[in-house]
């Protein structure tokens, strides 16, 4: 996540029909962007989130995540959602087995049961965050194409549909191919040569008994 802020001594910019203004704009409606919006909201600070998806159900949201006590759960507590989070975790999800081609278990790690890094479905966690925000916070179908600093200390963000916004505080939470990152760094994503494949085995105990 990236934050760009410039302090301006000018009066707040009024929104116009051509270029709406948002005091805080978060680019990206993934877990990071939504968590930032929620933490701001519980502290009485409103923000606007802009996401390229057509809506909250546009696609599946990936697989399981382990949310660690010392970082991810701290953010969820700051968002005031830890009790709700505990209701959507997968009990026993910390257990792991590595098996050979013939199904022989090579490594077995049991669920420690301490809740230190419980597993949760990414889509469920995203849904929890989305439902915790006021209606209208997230603006769908808004794919950012670029951002630039303005002379008055604000920033302008442009979108694929030809629209634009200005903002006092710009938060980049739009992932590896962020359009906001170039404001702070010239770093670019690079393929490391490592890939992961994930699958689900439904009703494994009954369909594939040992």
The answer as to whether 172 is a domain residue is yes
Domain assignment of residue 43, yes or no:
yes
CATH number of the domain to which 148 belongs:
3.50.50.60
Q: Does residue 135 lie within any of the structural domains?
A: yes
Query: For residue 19, what is the enclosing H or E element?
Result: none
How many domains, in total, are found in the chain? Answer: 1
Q: Is 144 helix (H, G, I), strand (E, B) or coil?
A: strand
Asked whether 67 and 118 are in contact (CB, 8 A), the reply is: yes
- pLDDT for 156: 98
| Residue 103 forms part of a structural domain | no
Task: List the domain range (segments joined by +) for residue 192.
Answer: 2-64+122-207
Q: Looking at residue 108, what is its pLDDT?
A: 85
Three-state secondary structure call for residue 39: helix
Q: Where are the alpha helices (H) located in the chain, listed in sequence order?
A: 31-42, 72-78, 82-86, 122-131, 204-207
The whole-number mean pLDDT for each consecutive block of 10 residues of the chain, a chain of 210 residues, reads 55 61 97 98 98 87 84 96 93 76 86 74 95 97 97 96 97 95 92 84 77
The answer to whether position 58 is within a domain reads yes
> Residue 140 falls within a domain, yes or no?
yes
Residue 102 in any domain: the answer is: no
Q: What is this structure's pTM?
A: 0.80
Residue 21 counted as domain residue = yes
- pLDDT value at residue 5: 55
Q: Which residues contact 188 (CB under 8 A, 6 or more apart)?
A: none
- Given this model, what pLDDT does residue 62 score? 72
Task: Say what the pLDDT of residue 4 is.
Answer: 60
């Amino acid at each position: 996540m990236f934050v760009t802020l410039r302090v301006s001594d000018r009066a707040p910019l009024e929104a116009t029909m051509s270029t709406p203004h948002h005091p805080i704009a978060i680019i990206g409606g993934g877990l990071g962007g939504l968590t930032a919006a929620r933490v701001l909201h519980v502290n009485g600070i409103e923000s606007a989130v802009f996401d390229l998806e057509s809506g909250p159900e546009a696609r599946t949201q990936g697989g399981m995540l382990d949310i660690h006590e010392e970082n991810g759960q701290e953010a969820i507590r700051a968002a005031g959602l830890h009790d709700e989070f505990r209701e959507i975790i997968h009990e026993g999800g910390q257990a792991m087995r590595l098996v050979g081609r013939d199904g022989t278990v090579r490594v077995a790690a049991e669920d420690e049961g301490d809740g230190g890094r419980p597993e949760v479905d990414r889509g469920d966690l995203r849904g929890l965050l989305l439902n915790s925000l006021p209606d209208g916070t997230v603006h769908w179908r808004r794919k950012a194409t670029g951002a630039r600093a303005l002379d008055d200390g604000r920033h302008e963000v442009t979108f694929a549909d030809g629209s634009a916004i200005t903002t006092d505080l710009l938060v980049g939470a739009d992932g590896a191919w962020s359009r906001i990152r170039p404001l702070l760094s010239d770093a670019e994503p690079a393929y490391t040569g490592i890939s992961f494949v994930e699958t689900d085995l439904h009703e494994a105990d009954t369909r594939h008994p040992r």
